[in-house]
Amino acid sequence: MMRVWKFGDDIDTDAIIPGRFLTIYDPRELAKHAFEGTRDEFGREATGGDVIVAGRNFGCGSSREHAPLALKGAGVTVVVARSFARIFFRNAVNVGLLPVVCTDTDRIADGAQVTVNTKEHYIKADGKKFPIEPVPEFMQGIVDAGGLVEYAKQQKEVPICTKSRR
Amino acid sequence: MGQTIVEKIFSKKCGKAIWSGEVVMTPVDGAMIHDITGPLAIQKFYEMGGTKVFDPKRIIMLFDHQIPADSIEAASNHIYMRQFALEQDIHNYDINEGVCHQVVLEKGRAAPGEIVVGADSHTCMYGAVGAFATGIGSTDMGFVLKFGALYFKVPEAIRAEVSGTFPARVGAKDLILAIAADIGADGATYKAIEFCGDAIARMEIPGRMTCCNMAIEMGAKAGIVAPDTITWDYMKKRRKMSPFIIESDSDAKFAETRSYDVSDLEPQVAIPHNVDKGVPVSKVAGTHVDQVFIGSCTNGRFEDLAEAAEVLGKKKFAPSLRVIVIPASRDEYLKALDAGLIKQFVKAGALVEAPCCGPCMGGAFGLLAPGEVSLSTSNRNFKGRQGSTEAQVYLCSPATAAASAMTGEITDPREV
């Protein structure tokens, strides 16, 4: 069972990975500096399967993909938040870090033992179940393909403006 | 039912009526990469099986965040991108031209009705000339480099209707800080903000750039001003194209409309650590400042430097603080030089650096130590944005920055 790392509202990408580390692209190296200066123990203690739980507007600010990469490098595979900033949400999906929306994140405590069930759409923290929203359909297609890189590898051409997948 | 300007741009591009909420794979007219997000985008392009980019002429490459290279890693990243430019026949502005968003616009690489993406969140600035422009991550950019298209969820729009005449020493930055405080840091998430009204109609392109630039600070996908005579006049020197009308229909459906009147607007300051924490300058006047930064894609243009210089006059900056001035581009630098502004700043005690992002991104130089306070004309005041997470960043206009730099504390520019 993995633990919850609890954060508040408006966690920006400068907090997730400060600007001075942006010459690094290796997720594991980035992970060492994740939340540096904001929550130093995260880089040292986060382990595979841990879950970030946050409030509104997680990942606001810069478009740096280093942010979801740093979290992924730390072993985090799911971020649960009340809401996400747009670019972070999309970057997360693209690099294979699952962003999940849950309106009950204020009821989940730091350090709680947690499991996330994306098939049945719930998160279980310290024994309590909370519903999570499914990933939007067109994003799910990218997730199903194994991320945008895998999706793109499979395509010689893309269906430009011809159909909309809602 | 009528369409918003954003829906019209997508409809035109796709050759059929497109409405907000639709997800469309849309070709792009331009794609910008810089030294921070570019290397990863190129790497993703290769991982996606890319061999030749979709169109080298539509790719804008330059370095602005860590220039001249501030580390061996940065220098190596620059080399990686230079090689890619050579291999793909992409024109690379390298370290020579300035901050990406300013360069894209002044070189005419974004135009009315176009769709432009950039691997940088402040790409929304190109809405100042009536383009739909949005920031994307490196993997999305890798996809764009390969296919020249990207999935877009066409955003609804918020109409920000701005009326009135700005009081002296109050301008576009004060307006956008007030709008951000009103809409909130996530109030426009997944939406576009269309700026309109008589105050916007009178506003020149630099002010519109400042407003559109900061649309992202409300979570917006884009900021946009419908092209008008001011826009076409700006484009005339930069791009061969005939003016046309593209604007929101009177019966277009907006997510909401918000009205603002600038006639009584006070200079605004966003206090730490969020951009939507804008307050009138009077509320924080007297706050001690250690460093003032006048520059960035938000406020590093000639007009911004002139606004600061007008407040400064023949006086000196306070010896108790550091003043860093960085023009947003080579062109803006030259204009400031010709007008004597650079001499004026240097004589007053400022450090003038070559065009780049400077302290804004907190990675290159001008970093803050714990406990220090920065007053900055840039766009973000997040904790740790300009160095230590125990430092504080306040955001303001060039006029307020200049006035405060003269006194050593946050000062109303109308009182110096």
Nearest CA in chain B to A154: B48
Q: Are B145 and B30 a contacting pair, CB within 8 Å?
A: no
d(CA A42, CA B47): 30
* Mean pLDDT, residues B50-68: 97
* DSSP reduced 3-state for B23: strand
Nearest to B327 by CA among B364, B362, B360, B294: B294
pLDDT of residue A162: 53
Nearest CA in chain B to A14: B385
pLDDT of residue B363: 82
| B181 Cα to chain A: minimum distance (Å) | 14
Nearest CA in chain B to A68: B137
| B371 Cα to chain A: minimum distance (Å) | 13
* Mean pLDDT, residues A15-36: 95
pLDDT in tens, A80-101: 999 999 999 999 999 989 999 9
d(CA B269, CA B44): 39
pLDDT of residue A166: 37
Q: Are B222 and B133 a contacting pair, CB within 8 Å?
A: yes
Query: What's the 3-state SS for A74-118?
Result: CCCCEEEECCECHHHHHHHHHHCCEEEECCCHHHCCCCCEEEEEC
Who has greater pLDDT, A154 or B312? B312
Nearest to B296 by CA among B373, B369, B209: B209
**pLDDT higher than threshold 60 for residue A165:** no
Nearest CA in chain A to B391: A37
- Domains located in chain A, CATH noted: 2-135 (3.20.19.10), 136-166 (no CATH)
- H/E stretch holding B79 reads helix B72-88
* Mean pLDDT, residues A114-133: 94
pLDDT of residue B178: 98
B397 in contact with chain A, both atoms CB, cutoff 8 A: no
pLDDT of residue A1: 67
For residue B361, the chain A residues in CB contact (below 8 A) are: 19, 22, 62
Tell me the pTM: 0.96
CB pair distance less than 8 Å for A94 and B140: yes
Contacts of A92 (CB under 8 A, 6+ apart): A59, A68, A79, A84, A98, A99
State which amino acid sits at residue B88. Answer: Q
pLDDT band (50, 70, 90) for residue A144: confident
* Mean pLDDT, residues B266-273: 98
Interface test with A, best of B152, B389, B393, B395 (most A CBs within 10 A): B389
pLDDT of residue A164: 44
Quote the mean pLDDT of chain A.
91
**pLDDT higher than threshold 60 for residue A163:** no
* Mean pLDDT, residues B261-272: 98
- Domains located in chain B, CATH noted: 5-261 (3.30.499.10), 270-415 (3.30.499.10)
Q: How far is CA B295 from CA B80, B210, B345, B361, in A?
A: 28, 12, 13, 12
For residue A157, the chain B residues in CB contact (below 8 A) are: 147
B37 in contact with chain A, both atoms CB, cutoff 8 A: yes
pLDDT in tens, B325-343: 999 999 999 999 999 999 9
pLDDT in tens, B177-199: 999 999 999 999 999 999 999 99
Q: How far is CA B284 from CA B168, B288, B293, B321, in A?
A: 20, 10, 18, 18
B173 in contact with chain A, both atoms CB, cutoff 8 A: no
**pLDDT higher than threshold 80 for residue A138:** no
CB pair distance less than 8 Å for B40 and A25: yes
CB pair distance less than 8 Å for A65 and B362: no
CB pair distance less than 8 Å for A159 and B25: yes
pLDDT band (50, 70, 90) for residue B384: very high
Q: Is the dihedral of CA A33, A34, A38, A39 positive or negative?
A: negative
Q: How far is CA B344 from CA A160, B170, B310, B332, B348, in A?
A: 53, 22, 10, 15, 6
CB pair distance less than 8 Å for B384 and A15: yes
d(CA B314, CA B72): 41
Cis peptide preceding B56, ω within 30 of 0: no
Give the largest Cα separation in chain B, rounded: 61
Q: How far is CA B100 from CA A21, A85, B95, B140, in A?
A: 20, 22, 10, 18
pLDDT in tens, B81-134: 999 999 999 999 999 999 999 999 999 999 999 999 999 999 999 999 999 999
**pLDDT higher than threshold 70 for residue B166:** yes
* Mean pLDDT, residues A138-147: 76
> What percent of chain B is predicted at pLDDT more than 70?
100
pLDDT of residue A55: 98
In B268-377, which residue ranges form alpha helices assigned H by DSSP?
296-299, 302-312, 330-338, 341-348
B16 in contact with chain A, both atoms CB, cutoff 8 A: yes
How much is the ipTM here? Answer: 0.94
